[in-house]
Amino acid sequence: MGETHCAIAIDGPAASGKSTVAKVLAKRLGLNMVNSGAMYRAVTWEVVRRGIDPQDAAAVVALLGELVIECGVCAGHSTMTVGGVDPGAELRSDAVNAAVSSVSAVPEVREVLVAKQREMLRLGDLVMEGRDIGSVVFPDTPFKFYIDASEEVRRKRRAAEGQQDEVGERDRQDARRKTSPLKISEGALVIDSSELGIEEVVEKTVEGLRERGWFDREGGAKQS
Ligand code: DC
């Protein structure tokens, strides 16, 4: 954790609604929102673009050494360029969906990106969503949430977005990997979003933040 700034960690499986919840929550509290999955996707996009086998960890690590990765914030949202290029909508391509779990299982990739995620705290209080934010990136934050939903609901959500995404398979890979697997971090408030709308989930996170003293912090964001 930084000296003064604080992180709200939102973890959960693919298509659990955590990105949307993180976005709405960050806007409501006037905080920066960091999508850590986009960072793993950006590195994967470069792996795919160069025709590197995503399962070839040595080749992925060699590429990593060459990459210039820059992270920032624009209008409250995290941004990232790889070699000066923002991959944009290509981050969500079928090829990236299929390769991202392999690339994000490479420990060296995680080391580089976790360091960049921690650096984002210098820019102010933030909401960060991902798989290991409460367990690895900001283990000391008391503000941890785990957003879940049934596999069927999550598959339907991705299909409604027009994406081909084997969410169940991706989760199994993300949960099985040795380094920083997807798991419910100790102390996290678990919210099942299967039957809830976004606003209802956001309400639950605000309630959880209140119980954990977010709004009582000195200089902390007051709820509007
Ligand atoms: O949240 P997402 O579906 O955009 O994430 C894409 C992939 O990135 C996910 O399958 C696993 C990986 N990821 C990770 O390993 N750790 C994170 N903190 C965020 C994402």
Q: Which atom of ligand 1 is nearest to the CA of 91?
A: 4
Class of domain 7-214: alpha beta
Q: Closest Cα to atom 2, ligand 1: which residue? A: 37
166, two tokens: 């084997």
- Residue 171 CA to ligand 1 center (angstroms) comes to 9
Nearest CA to ligand 1 atom 16: 131
C-alpha–C-alpha distance, residues 90 and 79, integer Å = 14
**pTM of the predicted model, to two decimals?**
0.92
Those residues with Cβ within 8 angstroms of residue 113's Cβ, 6 or more apart along the chain or in another chain: 36, 39, 40, 43, 69
Ligand 1: atom nearest CA of 132 is 18
**Residue pair 36/135 in contact by the 8 Å Cβ criterion:** no
- Cα of 130 to ligand 1 centre, how many Å? 6
Cα(196) to ligand 1 centroid in Å equals 23
Give the residue, out of 18, 96, 104, with the most ligand 1 atoms within 8 A of its beta carbon, to mutate for a pocket test. Answer: 104
Residue type, 186: E
| Residue 3 pLDDT | 53
- Predicted confidence (pLDDT) per residue in 65-103, tens digit: 999 999 999 999 999 999 999 999 999 999 999 999 999
What is the maximum span of the chain, computed from C-alpha positions, in angstroms? 51
Structure tokens that stand for 161 in this block: 């977005």
Cα distance between residue 182 and residue 176, in whole Å: 8
Could you count the other beta carbons within 10 Å of the beta carbon of residue 195? 9
Residue 219 has what pLDDT? 62
Residues β-bridged to residue 127: 8, 33
**The pLDDT of residue 217:** 87
Instruction: Parse the chain into domains and list their residue ranges.
Output: 7-214
All residue ranges of the chain with pLDDT < 70 are: 1-3, 219-224
Q: Enter the tokens of residue 31.
A: 């905080």
Ligand 1 contacts (CB < 6 A) are 14, 36-37, 40-41, 100-101, 104, 130-133, 170, 174
Give me ligand 1 centre to Cα 216, in Å. 31
142 CB-contact burial (10 Å; exposed 0-12 / middle 13-18 / buried 19+)? middle
Nearest CA to ligand 1 atom 4: 37
Token pair of 25 as six digits: 């929550």
CA separation for the pair 160, 156 (Å, rounded):
6
